[in-house]
Structure 1
């Protein structure tokens, strides 16, 4: 098993944000966490990537317990986090943003190869290599944030709301790229408000409500669940 999350309990002060959350991601999968705003989806990703600490529970990656590891060490092990709101470095160029994603790596030839792989997925970034990140469109910034996440050569790419604020055409493009990244061997843990699109490309899914997982199953089962249809798919 690639990622195993067991009984996570996370607090913000007195607020019990994650309540006994358990799930897993197998190698080669796209797994989606869906839920309303405030359900705990982003908190889950931030805890896995070492930005938050759980009070109880364990996170195992490739069988190794990473629950108390610092965030930079977790990146070195092979987990990359593309945060909500993109969080690119606006004053830096596209190239400099991408190189920031490779800060844990040392071999310049390998870094260059990774950059070329990013350009194969995102040709627009190559065209804008020396442009400042802050001057890119929303869609291009999402591509840059994803490309930056890929520069650490992750085994598991965690993506938080990649379609947020994008036009329908760009949403489709981003999801096609996510499928393509996955087909090249990167497992993906996806947090996404656009449940319909997320479920259409995922293998499995979990539904989070107020810090608890209330449903799990194949993406098809979740998409056909009457409760999910009503709450998240607008059916």
Structure 2
């Protein structure tokens, strides 16, 4: 579904991505783990067109995404839930969700998807007329995920969905991610909580300073002594 080949991305003189190669198959949850500054978020931003790459290729559904705008990439079926949620303050919960469907013209499909989002996140329906900025951190994360799902993505990019959330909410968010996969959406997950990420991942890549240094199944990496020592506190 998604293939990245020898991808390089710079921020000025800083090499954020140093020739990474990876892939995401349809129906998988794939996770990127690594320390802060490893290049995980930069990888997602390159895929979604937020950051322009220096060299290499990103292919989605056998189409090269090079020089495609972020809007075109959303149209092709990739939706990005950014780090920090980035909900729209001053707009209601409902208006935020509608923004996720702004490229769509099928009113009945949008109505059905809104119903689906409310079924998955009942608190959003209860808060539908509330300013999104007044939601709790967990509610804002649910809103950001619901907004992304309103574009009917084939591939969902999630950047640090558990950041700043209480442990009980973290478990709920990861349960929702597994449910999203069951409903047919492929997921590429960036997550500091490596233990939780590996527990739901089909496959995982470990990043260090802009490079991929290890890959394997979620189970294999979770049982690796080196990974346990470096990222799982064991």
* TM-score of the aligned structures, taking structure 1 as reference length: 0.99
Distance in 1 (CA, whole Å) between partners of 2:99 and 2:81 is 13
Q: For residue 15 of structure 1, what is the aligned residue in structure 2?
A: 14
Q: For residue 27 of structure 1, what is the aligned residue in structure 2?
A: 26
Q: For residue 165 of structure 2, what is the aligned residue in structure 1?
A: 166
Per-residue deviation, residues 68-120 of structure 1 (Å, max 9, x unmatched): 10000000000000000000001100000000100110111111111111111
Q: For residue 47 of structure 1, what is the aligned residue in structure 2?
A: 46
Q: For residue 74 of structure 1, what is the aligned residue in structure 2?
A: 73
CA contact (8 A) 1:48 1:67 kept: no
CA contact (8 A) 1:196 1:233 kept: yes
C-alpha deviation, 1:53, in angstroms:
1.1
Distance in 1 (CA, whole Å) between partners of 2:66 and 2:196 is 31
Number of positions where the alignment pairs a residue of Structure 1 with one of Structure 2: 234
C-alpha deviation, 1:121, in angstroms:
1.0
SS at match of 2:3: strand
Matched, 1:131 2:135: no
SS at match of 1:97: helix
Distance in 2 (CA, whole Å) between partners of 1:195 and 1:168 is 14
Distance in 2 (CA, whole Å) between partners of 1:60 and 1:127 is 39
Distance in 1 (CA, whole Å) between partners of 2:116 and 2:27 is 18
Q: For residue 191 of structure 1, what is the aligned residue in structure 2?
A: 190
Q: For residue 60 of structure 1, what is the aligned residue in structure 2?
A: 59
SS at match of 1:170: helix
Distance in 2 (CA, whole Å) between partners of 1:123 and 1:181 is 15
SS at match of 1:130: coil
C-alpha deviation, 1:15, in angstroms:
0.4
Q: Which runs of 4+ in 1 moved over 3 A?
A: none
Per-residue deviation, residues 134-176 of structure 1 (Å, max 9, x unmatched): 0000000000000000000000000000000000000000000
Q: Which runs of 5+ in 1 are unaligned?
A: none
SS at match of 2:141: helix
Distance in 2 (CA, whole Å) between partners of 1:117 and 1:23 is 32
SS at match of 1:68: coil
SS at match of 2:27: coil
SS at match of 1:109: helix
Distance in 2 (CA, whole Å) between partners of 1:205 and 1:68 is 27
Distance in 2 (CA, whole Å) between partners of 1:133 and 1:21 is 37
Q: For residue 105 of structure 1, what is the aligned residue in structure 2?
A: 104
Distance in 2 (CA, whole Å) between partners of 1:231 and 1:128 is 40
* TM-score of the aligned structures, taking structure 2 as reference length: 0.99
Distance in 1 (CA, whole Å) between partners of 2:90 and 2:191 is 27
Per-residue deviation, residues 5-55 of structure 1 (Å, max 9, x unmatched): 111000000000100111000000000000000000000000000011111
Distance in 2 (CA, whole Å) between partners of 1:117 and 1:8 is 36
Q: Which runs of 5+ in 2 are unaligned?
A: none
